[in-house]
Homo-oligomer: A and B are copies of this chain.
């Protein structure tokens, strides 16, 4: 369970309520992880049982603090090797079975997806520029921390660019198939290249 580690990371430097943690997750973390409050609250309870966090409950708020056990758990996890995530990509499923559609329909679905990725590039790029502009006001220690966090944004932008350009290439390939069929049926075309 990795939400646990997200919450430990958020709590590492300062205590927070479940509600506040949700807001952190909805910030820059949302680019690669998300969680609902209805998932966060039970998770915090479980983490308390595992002594990863303690809870200072006031009248109104329940403020969670990370424990030494929690710090240890997070650091150990951060150092551990990362299995490549088994990804489920509904869009790839669509492409894989896309030959059931006519060429124009395949192209449309691919182009539509490309447009979505391009919108994200713009969004992430803006966030990165904002982040870079904030570097100058930070202390040397904060700078390192912040620069490392910005690397995740770069990854997001590059990933979106990769997908946007794949969509362009794939749409072009499909268009070429249409053209090949129009000319002469026997065409096999050039091999698909990486």
Q: Interface residues, chain A, CB within 8 Å of chain B?
A: 2, 5-6, 9, 12, 28-29, 31-34, 74-75, 77-79, 81-101, 105-106, 108-109, 112-113, 116-117, 120, 124-125, 128, 131-132, 135-136, 138, 140, 143-145, 147-155, 157-159, 161-163, 166, 169-170, 173-174, 177, 181, 185-189, 191-194
A2's closest neighbor in chain B, by CB? B90
- 10 contacting pairs across A/B (C-beta < 8 A): A78-B109, A82-B90, A82-B94, A82-B113, A84-B117, A96-B148, A132-B192, A154-B194, A158-B166, A159-B163
Please measure, in the bound complex, the distance between the C-alpha atom of A109 and the C-alpha atom of B83, giving whole angstroms. 11
A143's closest neighbor in chain B, by CB? B188
Most buried by B among A132, A144, A148, A189: A148
User: 17 new A-B pairs (CB below 8 Å) besides A34-B88, A82-B109, A82-B112?
Assistant: A5-B97, A12-B97, A28-B96, A74-B100, A75-B100, A75-B101, A78-B97, A79-B108, A79-B109, A81-B112, A82-B90, A96-B152, A135-B188, A135-B191, A155-B163, A155-B170, A158-B194
